[in-house]
Structure 1
Amino acid sequence: MREFFKYVFATVVGVVISMVLFLIFFIVLIVGIVKSSLDEDTVNVRNNSVLFINLDQTITERTMDDPFSRLPVVGSEANKSIGFNDVIRALREAKTDDNIECVYISVSSPNAGFATMREVRDALIDFKTSKKKIIAYSEVYTQGAYYLASVADKVYLNPEGALEFKGLKSETMFFKGALDKLGIEAQIIRVGNYKSAVEPFFTDKMSDKNREQVTVYLNGLYETFLDGISKSRNISMATLHQIADEYKIQQPNDALAYKMVDGLRYKDEVIDELKSITGKDKDKNITTVTINEYARNVVDDQDHSAANKVAVIYANGDIMGGEGTDQQIGSERISRAIRKARLDSTIKAIVLRVNSPGGSALASDVIWREVVLTKKVKPVIASFGDVAASGGYYIGCAADSIFVQPNTITGSIGVFGVIPNLKKLYNEKLGLTFDGVKTGKYADIMSIDRPMTPGERFIIQTDVNRIYDTFIGHVADGRKRSKAYIDSIAGGRVWVGTDAVRIGLADRTGNFNDAIVAAAKKAKIKTYKVVEYPEMLDPFKSLMENTTEKVKAYYAKQELGDNYPIYQQIKSAITRSGVQARMPFEIKVQ
């Protein structure tokens, strides 16, 4: 029997060792393939090439350094992403590249915010000054897709396809009914009647103040949306309003009749036109290069001999304490990047690129402090992306100048806290009770197993009021206005970019490159190179970190589909801690 167990044990050990060795071999193999793909980054752009731009991929602030996306794996195309700055840089290069004959846009449902789409759209308009053609084709155009495609010289729709053109909407899900059924009370502490981030937890419909602000900013977004299409398609704004209001585009022929598209074509017919433009015979394949490949291929045309630099610091995502990630603003990581740029004597100016709905008020203040210190020794220009609201506005308000796009969402100057009372859930639903001993009256303040006392509510409300007063004080100092005036336009209210300029929360509308040029001008430098901070995280290290969370997120997306954002909202609300300076809602164009 002893021999039997000895052999069984030896077999098990052998199997385990074999599995470990196989795993190591597999990892080494994958790393080798990935590194090989990195070594072959550049592509040969041949004569009469078509620059293929897939605008359905995720358009981020910066292109993620994800070499795994370049592996020849089925389905990898759906996970591709590119930074809007690389799209702009590639299109600028393609303008003068004799090998690029035209641009072909494929877009059905873009994964990008309003301001990001505006950046890409402006770059496409600039490309057209080269007199090279832009052709757009899709089987289905959502409204966001059409906003991008409308800039093309020719916009084609599949004869059996669809073009959505119906106007924008904003919708909020309210959780109060569900919380009541579960026996959960959301105890709300906030400053600002417009700070509606907490409304879904204590009411079942929009407040009058929230409805007012949403109506104003949604109409502002809509006007910018229609204005761009009007200028590109040479259709009056009044006509576009009528087409959308009366839902006139119901069939593909309607889109053609109202001159929203230039033709109804199948893809093979579009390919034939591309062949004609590039001088290819119909029985030959067209030569294409993707925007992702071309962006990696573009030679950095900066003057690297220039002694002066302009630093761009990317602050992207929710604001939190600690290090954060490339998609989260960690106060330690971003403040360290600002400090590094401040202390570097070769960096003459800084552009703080903000794309954030806010988050931790404390973390926002930590970053704000570094901006204030830096502004004393060199120019700081803020460039706001899709959204720079609440904490996102907080970290940029001290800048010398603030640039927004007309459809940037900003403001939302207010703070809040949510403390759940789970007493009914514990006692009545789960049969759980709590008892204990404490040495002070407020030793168990913030407990979630009972309702707050009046004294506790007073303490927390006082703290929230203090943070709000600090917030509007910082904004008043940065914008050189009185606290009373800032308070009058704050209160948590959200503004669209054009209105933010009008009321003094921003200085001018302009794109990302405009902000860089302004930073150099304020620093009084004519030749410079642009450097980016913070450094992107190592993709191999990132792959190994938080693997469990990534797997959970993947399967949640697979199971929940379009309902995944709702799950994210609920999870985010549950896990937030501390006083928040956060925008009340997410905005998507469809």
Structure 2
Amino acid sequence: MLTALFLWLINLTRRGRNLWRRLLRRRVAYVRIPISGALPEFAPALPWWAQRFFGAQAPLSLSELRRRFEWMASDPQVRGVVLDIGTLTCGWATIQSLDQDIRRFRERGKLVVARVTNPDTKAYVAACAADRIVAPPASLLTVTGLYTEVRFLKDALAKVDVRAEVTAVSPYKTAGDPLARSEMSPENREQIERLLDQRYATIVEMIADARRKSVEDVRTLIDAAPWSARRAQEAGLIDAVLYEDELPAFLATHAGASPAKLPEIAEWSQAHRALRLPMLRHHRRLIGVVTIEGTIAPGPSRQIPLPIPLIGGEIAGSESIVQALREAERNPRIAAVILYINSPGGSAFDTDLIWREVRRLDRRKPVVAVMGDVAASGGYYVASGARAIFAQPGTVTGSIGVLIVRLVFDGLVRRAGVNTVAIGRGANSAFFASDAPTEQERLATRALIDESYAMFRQRVVEGRSMPEETLEPLAGGRVWTGSEARERRLIDNVGGMPEALLKAQELAGLPRDRTAPLALIQGGRRHIAPQPFPEEPSKTLLEALALVRQPQVWAVLPFFE
């Protein structure tokens, strides 16, 4: 009763504010929104002091962009948006999610104009979701296709008497190859070329569909890039060449308005003060969201300042994720949970801890996993515990397998004139030392790999209800796109957060509503003990370096852009 009264008072206030805005004749026709950078699904929370004293702002996220689109789409005075698309550092699955969000906005009858300046392939493909694409006269369209490279460090390490010993489940588990090899293996080359072929075909189809050209014509245009803005317009890659101050006249022409009164383009910071405030609705039960971003490792989630091999920059700490899942499990208002995964994997031990929490939570409340740009190896391990899995066609997933990387420094130590005297008891007492491993230690390493890999396979067999003989040709470290994973039953459906939300609502018995609020859950400092399993119905840079140095089982995917 109190909640309903409180909500009624808020909506009454909003109606009054909307009336006041109309009396002041606050109007907004077009809104400018800059899009650049990593474009995460959820923006990281900034500390209060960074916002207050340094004016720091969280980067634009996909979830925030969807909120803005929904708000503008519900206001009849808004005719459309101008998207200033800059350099995008996100992956291709994010580009596909952005494409879908823009097209949904257009379906609501709004005009979308993409303004690009020196776009590369990724930025141009993102712009193709718009009704019109414009560029300044001096722009250069470097839509040159796809390119990737792998640097192999074996020979460089040998110059300082350092080497890496990698034990992997199969040649397809290639995360350790850059440290242990001088050149690309046939298996790795086959895998990368297959992924590039599929991604390139998807890009060509997206451009061809948007620009109303044949696939053959698009391939020819890409092969002839870079393009100047004038030539790109003549080739039909963009719609107009103009400066930013000429945009209002362009919008007036394409919106059918009178050129005598040009529409204004407002920045979001000003535009949202003129938009009609939507009425709030009470949701007694919510869908929670737990995110796994970055390399999975022990401890709390954190940011490592250097791109250390295997560890990477952003750390998905198992301690934080486990606590978030337990918090969602105990919260009576959370009806289901979406597990957003954008991770290449990491520590196999910590991955299994998270998987266990996902399985227990799913016995009480439905868990739907949705994959970002990459959810492979340990990222897929965790997802296999969910009731349903969604991924974009361009998501990189699979890589079911593990490996151990051991950096051997004994040659470097001898070169430095250091004389090491070691004393131990037990055949494998020096297993975690940086000296060259013995044959006995290598046998122990192989046994550890085989056991960890068997556990990984069993998790997937159980989670996907898939016979092991069906899984084995898909495992062994093999990497798949989201489209391939759907065909092979490694995921359930193609889609992003909006589709995962509808599925979670369906499983929880809630009304299907794309605009329903999400409850982002992050593990707090208070330790929450696990509940009984239901019956069937890093902290510092030095610690991160220590993780790499020790031989440890990794369920991790090599970098692939």
Which of 468, 489, 513 is the matching residue for 1:483? 468
List alignment gaps of at least 5 residues for structure 1: 1-43, 539-544, 553-569
The Cα shift of 1:321 comes to: 1.3
Distance in 1 (alpha carbons) for counterparts of 2:93 and 2:499:
14
Distance in 2 (alpha carbons) for counterparts of 1:576 and 1:253:
56
The Cα shift of 1:525 comes to: 2.0
Distance in 2 (alpha carbons) for counterparts of 1:342 and 1:508:
25
SS of equivalent residue, structure 2 residue 519: strand
For the pair 1:582 / 2:560, whether they are aligned, the reply is: no
> Do the aligned partners of 2:26 and 2:274 also contact (CA within 8 Å) in 1?
no
> Do the aligned partners of 1:49 and 1:289 also contact (CA within 8 Å) in 2?
no
Distance in 1 (alpha carbons) for counterparts of 2:344 and 2:275:
33
Q: 1:368 to 1:297 in 2, by over 3 A?
A: farther
> Do the aligned partners of 2:31 and 2:271 also contact (CA within 8 Å) in 1?
no
Distance in 2 (alpha carbons) for counterparts of 1:421 and 1:293:
59
Q: 1:488 to 1:188 in 2, by over 3 A?
A: same
SS of equivalent residue, structure 2 residue 167: strand
Distance in 2 (alpha carbons) for counterparts of 1:467 and 1:477:
15
Q: Give the corresponding residue for 1:27.
A: none
SS of equivalent residue, structure 2 residue 159: helix
The Cα shift of 1:485 comes to: 2.3
The Cα shift of 1:534 comes to: 2.5
Q: 1:175 to 1:344 in 2, by over 3 A?
A: same
For the pair 1:289 / 2:267, whether they are aligned, the reply is: yes
List alignment gaps of at least 5 residues for structure 2: 1-20, 304-313, 526-537
Deviations 1:138-175 (A, max 9, x none): 23111111011112222112222111222212211111
The Cα shift of 1:180 comes to: 0.8
Q: Give the corresponding residue for 1:339.
A: 326
Which AA in structure 1 matches 2:473? S
SS of equivalent residue, structure 1 residue 310: strand
Which of 158, 168, 182 is the matching residue for 1:180? 158
Q: Give the corresponding residue for 1:329.
A: 316
> Do the aligned partners of 1:381 and 1:402 also contact (CA within 8 Å) in 2?
yes
Larger deviation, residues 490-499 vs 570-579: 570-579
Distance in 1 (alpha carbons) for counterparts of 2:517 and 2:550:
36
Which AA in structure 2 matches 1:479? R
Q: Give the corresponding residue for 2:427.
A: 441
Larger deviation, residues 151-160 vs 293-302: 293-302
Larger deviation, residues 282-291 vs 362-371: 282-291
Distance in 1 (alpha carbons) for counterparts of 2:478 and 2:116:
38
Deviations 1:540-590 (A, max 9, x none): xxxxx98x97xx9xxxxxxxxxxxxxxxxx979946762111111131xxx
The Cα shift of 1:49 comes to: 3.9
> Do the aligned partners of 2:75 and 2:275 also contact (CA within 8 Å) in 1?
no
Larger deviation, residues 412-421 vs 225-234: 225-234
Distance in 2 (alpha carbons) for counterparts of 1:317 and 1:150:
29
Q: Give the corresponding residue for 2:362.
A: 375
For the pair 1:265 / 2:242, whether they are aligned, the reply is: yes
Q: 1:446 to 1:146 in 2, by over 3 A?
A: same
Q: Give the corresponding residue for 1:124.
A: 102
Q: 1:299 to 1:472 in 2, by over 3 A?
A: farther
The Cα shift of 1:48 comes to: 2.4
Q: Give the corresponding residue for 2:446.
A: 461
Which of 45, 48, 52 is the matching residue for 2:28? 48
SS of equivalent residue, structure 2 residue 290: strand
Normalization by structure 1: what TM-score? 0.79
Distance in 1 (alpha carbons) for counterparts of 2:438 and 2:137:
65
Which structure has greater helix proportion?
A: 1
Q: Give the corresponding residue for 1:95.
A: 73
Which of 197, 209, 217 is the matching residue for 1:239? 217
Which AA in structure 1 matches 2:241? L
Deviations 1:163-197 (A, max 9, x none): 12222122111111110101001011111221111
Distance in 1 (alpha carbons) for counterparts of 2:323 and 2:475:
29
Distance in 2 (alpha carbons) for counterparts of 1:575 and 1:518:
42
Distance in 1 (alpha carbons) for counterparts of 2:467 and 2:59:
43
Distance in 1 (alpha carbons) for counterparts of 2:276 and 2:356:
37
Q: 1:145 to 1:69 in 2, by over 3 A?
A: farther
Which of 72, 91, 104 is the matching residue for 1:113? 91
SS of equivalent residue, structure 2 residue 498: helix
Q: Give the corresponding residue for 1:309.
A: 286
Distance in 2 (alpha carbons) for counterparts of 1:536 and 1:114:
29
Distance in 2 (alpha carbons) for counterparts of 1:353 and 1:420:
33
Which of 230, 249, 264 is the matching residue for 1:253? 230
The Cα shift of 1:285 comes to: 9.1
Q: 1:361 to 1:571 in 2, by over 3 A?
A: same
Distance in 1 (alpha carbons) for counterparts of 2:120 and 2:436:
46
> Do the aligned partners of 1:46 and 1:99 also contact (CA within 8 Å) in 2?
no
Distance in 2 (alpha carbons) for counterparts of 1:292 and 1:147:
29
Which AA in structure 2 matches 1:431? G
> Do the aligned partners of 1:404 and 1:510 also contact (CA within 8 Å) in 2?
yes
Which AA in structure 2 matches 1:269? E
For the pair 1:82 / 2:60, whether they are aligned, the reply is: yes
SS of equivalent residue, structure 1 residue 47: coil
Larger deviation, residues 156-165 vs 57-66: 57-66
SS of equivalent residue, structure 1 residue 106: strand
Which of 121, 129, 132 is the matching residue for 1:154? 132
Q: 1:296 to 1:533 in 2, by over 3 A?
A: farther
> Do the aligned partners of 1:69 and 1:80 also contact (CA within 8 Å) in 2?
no
Q: 1:279 to 1:353 in 2, by over 3 A?
A: same
Which of 416, 420, 427 is the matching residue for 2:407? 420
Which AA in structure 1 matches 2:211? R
SS of equivalent residue, structure 2 residue 423: coil
The Cα shift of 1:80 comes to: 5.3
The Cα shift of 1:248 comes to: 4.7
Distance in 2 (alpha carbons) for counterparts of 1:117 and 1:536:
29
Normalization by structure 2: what TM-score? 0.83
Q: Give the corresponding residue for 1:399.
A: 386
The Cα shift of 1:315 comes to: 1.6
Q: Give the corresponding residue for 1:474.
A: 459
Q: Give the corresponding residue for 1:353.
A: 340
SS of equivalent residue, structure 1 residue 460: helix
Which AA in structure 1 matches 2:233? L
> Do the aligned partners of 2:342 and 2:373 also contact (CA within 8 Å) in 1?
yes
Which of 295, 302, 308 is the matching residue for 1:318? 295
Q: 1:177 to 1:295 in 2, by over 3 A?
A: farther
> Do the aligned partners of 1:48 and 1:278 also contact (CA within 8 Å) in 2?
no
Deviations 1:391-441 (A, max 9, x none): 11111112111111111110111111111111111112x111200322333
Deviations 1:30-65 (A, max 9, x none): xxxxxxxxxxxxxx8941242212111431121233
Deviations 1:92-145 (A, max 9, x none): 221122343321111131132211121122111111123222122223111111
> Do the aligned partners of 1:389 and 1:582 also contact (CA within 8 Å) in 2?
yes
The Cα shift of 1:280 comes to: 9.7
The Cα shift of 1:345 comes to: 3.5
Distance in 2 (alpha carbons) for counterparts of 1:299 and 1:159:
39
Deviations 1:243-285 (A, max 9, x none): 22x3254333331222110122222222443477697988989
Distance in 2 (alpha carbons) for counterparts of 1:486 and 1:302:
47
The Cα shift of 1:73 comes to: 6.7
